[in-house]
Chain A
């Protein structure tokens, strides 16, 4: 097991290196001179040249990458030239919002998706299965800005149960905080559950054909035990993968949902950085989000080993 963990950890290194190179190149190869952006239209060529020298922009690309990477490794991701905030500060300020949104959305998504998938697989081809598979398909093709607006209309405008937009930190007003998060999390969850449901349903249906399920029936086990103990665990590998990808994606913030519900998350930070051409923030945030993705995938790999002893013992 330890061997397995170390192997997976070492495997992450080249991925992280590639990610850093890509984020650096994207930011550096964007058209437009950073020094010119900072100094504005009135800058004299001398000033621009001086700033380029100060920022190291006159150095060759590979040198700039290496020196940036050197700083990154030491935890220095740079500083916004507009707000003066470091990348880490900016991210630390926004990450609780995106993290909470992600957790709540994923929780609601799994809460809907998993039971529906099990119920559908238990009676595959039945009326409930066909209805839910159809609904999932409909939900999947619904863009999140539309879901968001419909939910706001229903719960905030018509029923007046929940606030439409806004944010307070959890530490200040927990209940109000949760109320602010319900609609955005629900918007995301409504887009998440169809995927969760579809992969788990099809894996469950395949598992229920297995010999060991026939044996479990022949052993006279209760149907609930067959579904939840014998079938769910071996069917959940793809589910874990999908959930991991969802979490990674939501970690990076959700541009549309954060914008519609006015939540100050990573998504809004990124949009802001793009609008103001704040390349340092953009590059740093993209790198951090990518790292988060890699870490989530590592956790997914570990979960595989927890779920399937054959992976744990290096048999598969």
Chain B
């Protein structure tokens, strides 16, 4: 279920513009890895290369390799659509499908993979996924209501339920709490702690306290200036990063001296 990711010398380009330069890092299975850094440093862009979602933007391309348990996602026989079925993603703003009910939202991804599913199997999966996302108790009586009728935090947990319903190897989260209030944020952070027993979780966050609270390892990205590429400055165990970072730039950033 949960897999390790090794990134080797990855460059990300938008057409000819180098957005992220020469990133090499390792992401451990069954752990939470946080990417922090100032806006525009390429951490979200880099995150999207882990499930090839960057390719949605015309002209975006990468050089280098991303190995998921040794398999290069950018190999010749790899279909990005299949990659995304194994590496799930949760976005900055909750995005349940407004035209689908809560239950349909949870099953949306599963229906892509397996055409036929018995009614009881589907019901079971809806329940287990919603329980997995700590949302079951709140919505079990209104599964046929539209997903957009939920609060922001509930919608985000619905999106997490939708992502884990397809049982991915890795779960990517792109600032999943930035549009949520503190209570909903806490709910999602608690959820991450439970999910990491089963999944490899990678989270991009602007909130350094959040990175310190939820992650096992932290990577700091930085950018030298506008128009320059983003780079990985350093990566280490989260307690070390927040107490004794080895780079001056990291220390300045986490102590709030810049950014």
Real binding pair: no
